[in-house]
Amino acid sequence: MEEKTLKLIPTIGMETHIELKTDSKMFCSCRVEDSASPNVNLCPTCLGLPGALPVPNKRAIEMITLISVSLNCEITQKGMFHRKNYFYPDLPKNYQISQFDFPIGTGGSLQIIVDNQFSDIEIERVHMEEDTGKSVHAGGGRIDTAEYTLLDFNRSGIPLVEIVTKPVIKTAKQAVAYIEELRQLVIDVDISHAKLELGNLRFDANISVANENDNELGVKVEIKNMNSLKSLERAINHEINRQSKLLEKNERIIQETRHWDEKQEKTISMRTKEGSADYRYFSDPDIPNMNLSEEFIEEAVKGIPELPKARRERYIYLGLALDESNHIAKSKKWVRDLFEDVHIHRTNVRSAYLWTTGELLGQLRKMNVSSKPDHLNGKNFGELISLVDEDKISSSIGKEILAELIEKDLSPVEYATSNNLIQEIDEDYTIDLIVQVLDAQEEIIKRIRNGEDKLISFLVGETMKKATSSLNPALVRELIVKKIM
């Protein structure tokens, strides 16, 4: 009897660091800003100099409370800050102020959508910590190829929220969807710019692979240096494949931290993976214990906006499909606002969606414009969409008018009327024109009847030329087919 091959099951957990957009750093009054000049926003606390004492940033604690509630977490009202001890050149005091056994948020969840299916990703913890400095590896960009390394401490001490999932993610696509949803959430609750290219949002993936009959998860490997969603998906798929091949050959997987090499498109071993005991956590003696009262929590979350999940459900109720609702829910705020403004002035929600997310954004990209002009609103944009939906103008004419509308404040109806763009809808008049064209095109008609359907477009064009006003090409085509078939 052949031995049955066991199926290998991957398991993924995500750790995401989110830079908060506070005015000052987590434990001092130094400014938080994206500066091209290194080491300008510094003080003795940032540099860990002797005698410098940290003072917690109240606004940062309000922000982490807000995101914890938005993630359906339980709030730890009595907590503390800890010292996470390790040595690295960009950490001058040799420890990072973080949280260990009393994170602010625990036991939450975040709904994602993959392939039109809902999933709830369980959140294990949400905790606060300070960012480290930045190592700039000159001459190669990476530590192993650098000629020398420079240190920039502008980032040192910026407040970070770390959000850790439980190991429940099964595919790279789910991991990407989770980061997309989380990014939109922190933008909506206005706690971070969440720009991946600026490092406002950074993520690591913990990946293990095990046989389907195993009672425990496989050996965990952490992947770092993924700076885009595309990199995240590629790195996870590569690492699952790497571990699966080792297991198939009965080779041991080492618990370690690996680096994603974008050029080689593979993970490379960096160091043996540390456990929590290696960091020798203990409560920071310079910072008093926290006590988040009910009043503090209520104040922190009182302005909580509509979250992506609720917005998605509302769009589905309006009549959009799930994938459309998910897309518009994650669009920029001005796109969502315009879509809703258009819908207020119209009843066809799908037309509002398609023109807003499709044609408008496409034309703005071609014009290298990042947002709509102030004069374009739901009223005049909705008026344009109505002209197309009601077959008063063709879709191609609608696109031409949209280009004009982007450039100048105008009424689409008045513009279409004054430029003789309103389509003729007199069917008798249209049939008379078609008969004139068909009488002169007997050979073309024979070829169409013999299967050359493309020539129908020629007859449509000839009919449009004869008209003294604009015709509806769809109607012309329909009437021609009725006449000759």
Supply 182's token pair: 């989380």
Can you tell me the distance from the alpha carbon of 263 to that of 106, in angstroms, rounded to the nearest whole number?
Answer: 37
- The answer to whether the CB of 173 falls within 8 A of the CB of 205 is no
Can you tell me the distance from the alpha carbon of 416 to that of 397, in angstroms, rounded to the nearest whole number?
Answer: 9
Can you tell me the distance from the alpha carbon of 180 to that of 327, in angstroms, rounded to the nearest whole number?
Answer: 11
pLDDT band at 427 (very low <50, low <70, confident <90, very high): low
- The answer to whether the CB of 84 falls within 8 A of the CB of 120 is no
Supply 285's token pair: 């003696």
pLDDT value at residue 88: 87
- The answer to whether the CB of 225 falls within 8 A of the CB of 218 is no
Name the residue type at position 182. Answer: L
Looking at mean pLDDT, say which of 278-287, 413-422, 445-454, 466-475 comes out highest. Answer: 278-287
Q: How many residues does the chain have?
A: 485
What is residue 262's DSSP assignment? T
> pTM here?
0.84
Give 75-112 as a DSSP string.
E-SEE--EEEE---TT-TTSEEEE-SS--SEEEEEEEE
- Report pLDDT digits (tens) over 331-376: 999 999 999 999 988 778 999 999 999 999 999 999 998 889 999 9
- The answer to whether the CB of 460 falls within 8 A of the CB of 477 is yes
* Domain definitions of the chain by residue range: 8-301, 331-421, 424-484
From the list 91, 94, 107, 25, the residue with the least C-alpha distance to 58 is: 25
pLDDT beyond 50 at 182: yes
From the list 31, 148, 33, 27, the residue with the least C-alpha distance to 95 is: 27
Q: Does domain 424-484 sit in CATH 1.10.10?
A: yes
Supply 429's token pair: 């008049």
What is residue 253's DSSP assignment? P
From the list 23, 26, 75, 73, the residue with the least C-alpha distance to 292 is: 75
- Report pLDDT digits (tens) over 429-483: 777 777 887 878 888 878 888 888 888 888 878 877 877 667 777 777 777 787 7
- List, in sequence order, every residue forming a beta bridge with 9; answer none if it has no partner: 210
- Report pLDDT digits (tens) over 2-30: 455 668 899 999 999 999 999 999 999 99
Residue entry with tokens 């604009």? 470
